[in-house]
Amino acid sequence: MPDFSPNMNRRHFVKRSALATGGLMAASLPLAGAYAGGHDTIRLALIGCGGRGTKAAVQAMATGRDVQLVAMADAYRDRLDESYRNLLLQEDTKDQIAVLEDHKFVGFDAYRDAIALADVVILATPPGFRPLHLEAAVAAGKHVFMEKPVAVDPVGIRRVLAAIRAARAKELSIVVGLQRRYSVMYAQETLPRIREGIIGDIVAAYAYWNIGFIRPPERKPGQSEMDYQMRAWYQFPWLSGDHIEDTHIHNLDIVNWVLDAYPAKARGMGGRSAPYEGHYGLLYDHHFVEYEYPNGVLLSSQCRQTNGCWFRLGESFVGTKGRLNVDLKRLMVTDHQGNKLAGYRDREDRDPQQLEHDILFDAIRKGQPNNAAEFGAYSTLTAIMGRMASYSGQEITWDQALNSDLDLSPTRYAWDADPPVLPGPDGRYPLPIPGMG
Ligand SMILES: NC(=O)c1ccc[n+]([C@@H]2O[C@H](COP(=O)([O-])OP(=O)(O)OC[C@H]3O[C@@H](n4cnc5c(N)ncnc54)[C@H](O)[C@@H]3O)[C@@H](O)[C@H]2O)c1
């Protein structure tokens, strides 16, 4: 088992507390004089200029006036332009945008040019590209903020783990976008209470990401299959990893963190059951996976993206003395008779996605590398393992998942290349059928 998070998290917790006043404080820290590129500004590149990447760039710049956005890269020019326009609307950070026209890069290879210009890169494309982009950033000696998930298959996970190790050897910082670990609700309320024994020994855990259908973009007349799948990336596991990865990873990561372990086995089921009005993708719309941890604790994990069904987004832990439920912004701890032992409501806590950047840029300014990113790879693998179990109908062990040769990537990334999975004549994609090998 890898070097896991509790120590890392205690370190982060201390740092996080020290940063409680946020970006302004970070900005006032003594500067190291020159950053990795020999500049007094921290040059930032954004790779993947969608909703999350754009917000992450603002959060990176909000950590201090010394951060300048110097390059942007996206598969599509329209996405890059939209992001650039939105960035210029942010009053507090707009004067930190210094992206020359010829530093806006487009296409599958755009990441290379953007990385070359930066000290720090934000990796916020669909996760299918994360291993490739992380490897390139680390090889070029750049610090990284990378969004979760960090890969979509075990081959990608191993590439990411190797890149994290290489980054450590180069004293580079990497922060992963699993922001719940930085939130007051989880880092200061949930984890410490559980460690203090408020619910006793944990005997079972439950995780939920049950929400509605996420509508993909419409297919345009004449659009190539590669273009369609890139635009509708969430629908295709070679790009998104399926929603058990792309969203449910948040819950799985919290359970791994609290249990201080990774699951030894996963078995489960899933499928695609709702009518989708011609929106045929390759995702299951529901997964139910039972994870077994090395100490025998079982996690019941369910995620669904179907309209009109029961909603819950959170985790529950059942212990010998009581139960702890976290639901979005609310924590409740009760004994087994239902008496309240503790509670917390996140009303105006600092945004944990801002805290991630505060921590990363604080490390860079101080020249004290922060790289505990393995947990992001292993929590991604937890989700992949669950997906392998529900797609196949088989029990999957941790070692099988970690060592699997499963590689979902296409033979090449190009607009005239075929994506790894093509639709049939009826427009439907071949969904995995459990039990069929
Ligand atoms: N931590 C969180 O809470 C959180 C929230 C939302 C999204 N995310 C993650 O952020 C990532 C992006 O999600 P999003 O919601 O911003 O999606 P998005 O579709 O809005 O943005 C993705 C962008 O990446 C671009 N892109 C795709 N392939 C590329 C490539 N090879 N090179 C360069 N650009 C490429 C797309 O054109 C698009 O502009 C995903 O991994 C997602 O899971 C995390």
pLDDT (tens digit per residue) in 255-277: 999 999 999 999 999 999 876 66
Ligand 1 centroid to residue 145 C-alpha, Å: 13
**Which atom of ligand 1 is closest in space to residue 127's alpha carbon?**
41
Identity at 278, one-letter amino acid code: G
Query: Which residue's CA lies nearest to atom 17 of ligand 1?
Result: 50
Element (H, E) at 15: helix 5-18
The answer, yes or no, to whether the previous bond of 149 is cis (omega within 30 of 0) is: yes
Measured N-to-C along each axis, helices 5-18 and 352-366 cross at an angle, to the nearest 10 degrees, of 90
In degrees and rounded to multiples of 5, residue 361 shows phi and psi of -75, -25
- The CB density around residue 243, as the number of other CB atoms within 10 Å, is 25
Comparing CA positions, the residue from 387, 427, 417 lying closest to residue 230 is: 417
Residues lining ligand 1, CB < 6 A? Answer: 47-53, 73-76, 79, 108, 110-111, 124-127, 129, 147-148, 177, 179, 246
| Tokens standing for residue 419 | 């994506």
**Which atom of ligand 1 is closest in space to residue 80's alpha carbon?**
39
Q: Which of 79, 84, 125, 226 has most ligand 1 atoms within 8 Å of its beta carbon, as the pocket-test mutant?
A: 125
Pairing of strands 104-106, 120-123: unpaired
Cα 188 from chain centre: 21
Q: Which of 46, 47, 49, 52 has most ligand 1 atoms within 8 Å of its beta carbon, as the pocket-test mutant?
A: 52
Q: Which of 58, 74, 234, 239 has most ligand 1 atoms within 8 Å of its beta carbon, as the pocket-test mutant?
A: 74
Ligand 1 centroid to residue 239 C-alpha, Å: 10
**pLDDT, position 280:** 72
**pLDDT, position 36:** 52
First CA to last CA distance, the chain: 29
User: Cα–Cα distance between 155 and 163 in angstroms, integer?
Assistant: 13
Comparing CA positions, the residue from 229, 159, 158, 153 lying closest to residue 408 is: 153
Query: Which residue's CA lies nearest to atom 4 of ligand 1?
Result: 52
- CATH number for the domain formed by residue range(s) 184-348+381-403: 3.30.360.10
Comparing CA positions, the residue from 204, 206, 379 lying closest to residue 297 is: 204
SS3 of 30-47: the string is CCCCCCCCCCCCEEEEEE
List, for the chain, all residue ranges whose pLDDT scores fall below the cut of 50. Answer: 1-33
Comparing CA positions, the residue from 212, 294, 262, 236 lying closest to residue 383 is: 262
Ligand 1 centroid to residue 30 C-alpha, Å: 33
Query: Which residue's CA lies nearest to atom 7 of ligand 1?
Result: 52
138-181 pLDDT tens trace: 999 999 999 999 999 999 999 999 999 999 999 999 999 999 99
What's domain 5-180+351-372's architecture?
3-Layer(aba) Sandwich (3.40)
**Using alpha carbons only, how large is the chain's radius of gyration in Å?**
21
Which residue is it, tokens 């996970």?
Answer: 157
Inter-residue contact 170 to 164 (CB < 8 Å):
no
**pLDDT, position 343:** 97
Please, which residues bridge with residue 205 across strands?
299, 317
Burial class (CB in 10 A: 0-12, 13-18, 19+), 210: middle
Instruction: Tell me 146's DSSP state.
Output: E
Q: Where in the chain is the domain with CATH 3.40.50.720?
A: 5-180+351-372
Q: Where in the chain is the domain with CATH 3.30.360.10?
A: 184-348+381-403
Pairing of strands 67-74, 104-106: parallel
Instruction: Tell me the DSSP string of 227-262.
Output: HHHHHTGGG-HHHH--HHHHTTHHHHHHHHHHHTS-
User: Cα–Cα distance between 125 and 231 in angstroms, integer?
Assistant: 11
Ligand 1 centroid to residue 129 C-alpha, Å: 10
Tell whether the torsion through CA atoms of 85, 86, 89 and 93 is positive or negative.
Answer: negative
User: Cα–Cα distance between 168 and 191 in angstroms, integer?
Assistant: 27
Ligand 1 centroid to residue 125 C-alpha, Å: 4
Comparing CA positions, the residue from 270, 303, 286 lying closest to residue 393 is: 270
Comparing CA positions, the residue from 157, 71, 171 lying closest to residue 112 is: 71
Query: Which residue's CA lies nearest to atom 20 of ligand 1?
Result: 50
Ligand 1 centroid to residue 194 C-alpha, Å: 33
Measured N-to-C along each axis, helices 374-392 and 249-259 cross at an angle, to the nearest 10 degrees, of 120
288-315 pLDDT tens trace: 999 999 999 999 999 999 999 999 999 9
**pLDDT, position 215:** 86
Burial class (CB in 10 A: 0-12, 13-18, 19+), 260: middle
Ligand 1 centroid to residue 240 C-alpha, Å: 9
| Tokens standing for residue 315 | 């985790």
Query: Which residue's CA lies nearest to atom 31 of ligand 1?
Result: 108
User: Cα–Cα distance between 32 and 38 in angstroms, integer?
Assistant: 11
- The CB density around residue 27, as the number of other CB atoms within 10 Å, is 16
pTM of the model: 0.93
**Which atom of ligand 1 is closest in space to residue 132's alpha carbon?**
31
Query: Which residue's CA lies nearest to atom 38 of ligand 1?
Result: 50
Ligand 1 centroid to residue 352 C-alpha, Å: 18
User: Cα–Cα distance between 256 and 59 in angstroms, integer?
Assistant: 27
